[in-house]
Copies of this chain bind each other. A is one copy, B any other.
Amino acid sequence: MIGAGFAGLSAVRHLRGQPVEVTIVDHHNFHTFQPLLYQVATAGLDPADVAYPVRTIFGREANVVFRHGRAESVDMETRRVVLADGGSLDYDRLVVATGATTGFFAVPGAARYSLPLYTLADARRLRNHILGCLEAADARPEDFDDGAPTFVVVGGGATGVEMSGALVELLDVAVRRDRLRIDPHRSRVILLEAGDRLLSGFKQEASRYAAQTLLARRVDVRLRTPVAEVSKDGVRLGDQWMKAAAVIWAGGVTVDGTLAASLPIAHGRGGRVTLEPDLTVTGHPEVFVVGDAAAVPWGPSRPEACPQVAQVAIQSGAHAARQIVRQIAGQRTSPFAYHDKGLMATIGRHAAVAQLRRGPIWRGTIGWLAWLGLHLVYLVGFRNRAVVLINWWWRYLDWPSGPRLIVADVEADL
């Protein structure tokens, strides 16, 4: 089992107590609850609220072992995973759940100058940078055009929408509660989307609601605005430069550059691994690829790839685990079928959209409560859930004391 994301954890869960020895490998010693990373980046939650040690999750499972390390390559002929620290692991069956990575899509300067939001380290770096900008604007407003920082968010998917909604809330708290001397009418959050609507995976109605809500909260939403280049000082749109204190990259993900992309098998768009209907690799019934790393087919009669979302990761991981149990029992594997439970995105307090497979779209406070409840249910482990509840509760009561800390690994970086 490579990867302790949603797909990997889900697979391991379904192998608990089965007649198999499971080793789960990850170069992080924790699982990251990625849907809430934007809250870490905007100082609403602590890093530890959205991360959970793998050993704690499976500490009581006799047939599960964690190996901390980075899987570097897989030799499918000898059935061996080679790790970056020189170790290796032999397998009878392998589940590759290595996920994706930030996709910069060859936009010049993006990889170097923009701040992605995909890992916990990304979220922490982003938080330090944003809070640092606000303090700098308080201390030396003359360093900024307009006397206040402009934040540009690139990408109008769920991450970009959630990030820009949370950013305006953070700005509000910074001015109103922390009394930072920043003119709220001068500090701007600009959301850039190349396509013609936000939340393109959602229904039109949800997209409209998201755009209207963000505009009402003073996010400058710009559709049909692709970014041509990123520099240290801002972004280029067509041939015009726009200054920004931070360029936050929520432009999408790719599998290129990850372990899954390096496997000597067929790959689809964005490097996603092409699979058999049962989620195995062609010619290797002992190798499964699940989650974001794979082009997971919707179902036997719908070969197109599912979106790279948590639900698909969780379901595909579970499917792989069940097929392994079947294989060991000498049974035939069955094809995967995705059960679309809907999509959700939050825009801020009292504003979210929840789109179920059938029926109306939930939005506003109802949508927000649905979003909140679902995320709490899915958060791994009770302790985290209790702490997240406390944090959110306080945040709801006017956010008196979020963890707005600027903490670097190295003192000299401050």
Chain B hits for A377, CB < 8 A: none
Alpha-carbon distance between A138 and B55 when the two chains are bound, in angstroms = 12
In the complex where A48-B405, A383-B394, A406-B30 touch, is A56 in contact with B124 (Cβ < 8 A)?
A: no
B-chain residues with CB within 8 Å of residue A405 when the two chains form the complex: 29-30, 47-48, 51, 53
Q: Are A407 and B53 in contact (CB under 8 A)?
A: no
Q: Considering the complex, give the chain B residue whose CB is closest to the CB of A386.
A: B390
With A179-B55, A390-B383 as contacts: A47 and B407 at CB distance below 8 Å = yes
Contact B46 A407 (CB under 8 A): no
Question: In whole Å, how far is A167's beta carbon from the nearest beta carbon of chain B?
Answer: 18
The verdict on A195 contacting chain B, using a C-beta distance below 8 Å, is: no
Number of copies: 2
Binary contact track A252-274/B, C-beta < 8 Å → 1, others 0 = 00000000000000000000000
Q: Which of B119, B394, B404 contacts A55 (CB 8 A)?
A: B404
Q: Does A29 contact B139, Cβ atoms closer than 8 Å?
A: no
**Cβ of A303 under 8 Å from chain B:** no
Q: Determine if A139 and B177 form an interchain contact, defined as CB atoms under 8 angstroms apart.
A: no
Cβ A408 vs Cβ B29 within 8 A: no
Candidates B87, B125, B136, B384; contact of A409 at CB < 8 Å: B125
CA distance A53 to B404 in the complex (A): 6
- Which listed residue (B27, B46, B48, B131) contacts A29, Cβ 8 A? B131
Task: Given A27-B414, A121-B409, A411-B121, decide whether A87 and B404 contact each other with a Cβ distance below 8 A.
Answer: no
Q: Which B residue's beta carbon lies closest to that of A118?
A: B411
A400 to nearest B CB, angstroms? 7
Taken together as a complex, chains A and B put the C-alpha atoms of A139 and B27 apart, in Å, by 12
Closest beta carbon of chain B to A411's beta carbon, Å: 5
Tell me, yes or no, whether A135 is within 8 Å of chain B by CB: yes
| Interface flags, A46-72, vs B, CB<8A=1, else 0 | 111001110110010000010111100
Residue A239 interfacial (CB < 8 Å): no
Cβ of A108 under 8 Å from chain B:
no
Measured between alpha carbons, how far is A246 from B303 in the docked complex, in Å? Answer: 53
Residues of chain B contacted by A128 (CB below 8 angstroms):
409
Over the window 70-102 of chain A, the binary record of Cβ atoms lying under 8 Å from chain B Cβ atoms (1 yes, 0 no) is 100000000000000111000000000000000
* Least CB separation from A46: chain B residue: B48
A17 on the B face (CB < 8 A): no
- Report if A401 contacts B (CB, 8 A): yes
Interface pair A407/B140, CB less than 8 Å apart: no
- Is A56 a contact partner of B409 (Cβ separation < 8 A)? no
B-facing mask of A94-126, CB < 8 A → 1, else 0? 000000000000000000000000011110110
B407 pairs with A51, CB closer than 8 A: yes
Q: Are A139 and B46 in contact (CB under 8 A)?
A: no
- Interface contact B56-A404, CB-CB below 8 Å: yes
A190 at the interface (CB under 8 A from B): no
Instruction: Pick the contact of A59: B121, B177, B386 (CB < 8 A).
Output: B177
Q: Give residues of chain A (19-48) contacting chain B, Cβ–Cβ below 8 Å.
A: 27-30, 46-48
Q: What's the Cα separation between A86 and B136 when bound, in Å?
A: 12
6 CB contacts below 8 A, A to B, read A53-B401, A59-B178, A67-B138, A67-B139, A69-B139, A85-B140
